Structure 1
């Protein structure tokens, strides 16, 4: 009988759930090379290919899906059974959040929190995937950007986000600084309509007949602005580190409230998690301080 090592099955399940080798390796505190070696060894033992690569990461083959369906719940049961023999569950807090929000807002503030609460271990799982808390039972809570209502989850409002035109210093030096009335004469990044229309309707000026380029996520838009491609209607939460580093500059004091806001979300099972209670109190204080500085 083929008996693959348990750690190889754990690596397989983590990779299947995250759909990405680098994130799975990070979650298991392994190098990508070590995790890849585990999975190759598992495939050789079973004589089956378990994953195929795609532009976003990896996905299960039919054989891989069959293996996942058979072993994942049993590994979860083993982990659950062993928890009483390890560190207290309340001393470990696993959070899911977008990589861009982790980098721009949370991580710069975390050292002070961890210094004040050295008994608490924070595990951040930064991913663009919307986590299913019913399936991913190892995740305690999440930081999300959205409308504030997610079925089956409790949500706590942290702060609103705002939009304002920003541009690279090089573009400003090359073309000058626009006024509210002349903004539409400058190269703008975005799509016709949308929030740019709201901007011009509220603050005046005339929208351009065409925009230079559009991208489907804020982080890429900000990157294009850094490269001097044009002026972007930037999200301040993501843009502040770039502004502080003088890679982008604010053009106006005027701001639009974004369609969505930032929330702390968690399933009912996490209500009694003492570590989450400590984090919740802290992140609400940080959010209030940040919101006050924006208005």
Structure 2
């Protein structure tokens, strides 16, 4: 099983980790994966080599893990069974559990890593394509992956912000992957006077709904990073009004343009964000993009 390289560590905010492909035998047999020496290094740093040895069929003891979903950028503490299945030998096995969120399929990548100051190890699985794109050191590949993650629900969110407050929201649109309040978005647009906060000379057509220039809302610290903060990111201080061109540019333009936009917007909002508990440096913000 390969150990994490620097690109994996950087992408996942890890200090150590390893990954491997799930075999057909593992996915179709007893629903467990072999914990190789690199994963053992991760586990032993947290738990020591204190795992039960039993060849019995009864349920093995469990340990807590942060089960992470890379497509959402979120994780939750779950219990997973782990044991030495033989009375002697070094084979250590970790067992899947569907309700834990860790239930990899054959051909997928499964991975384990540690983060500094996090008491539990992280574990997860995903397609090899997703894993490779998220951990790529190619800026173009990472930008495409970011767009796929954003576009799943951002269009729905922008429509909800622009909709009348008493509009009936279709059932399938009520729960977005990253929870954001349309009311907060509307307040951000109103506070900005329906102007682009990067450049208020940017003009757009009037909206048929609001009668105001068409603007979109953008979270400076992406809402998908909520797990890294103890406060809500869906607050007025973190939400800016942008014209559609600037909103597209801040997600899809070159690094030079993107950095210039973020520096300007963050400079205007830094104090207000810190007052709401979103306290980070410019470098920290840029690292999210």
Q: If the TM-score is normalised by the length of the shorter chain, which range does it land in?
A: under 0.3
Q: Which has the higher contact order (CA 8 A, sep 6+)?
A: 1
Q: Which has the higher helix share?
A: 1
Normalising by structure 2, report the TM-score: 0.23
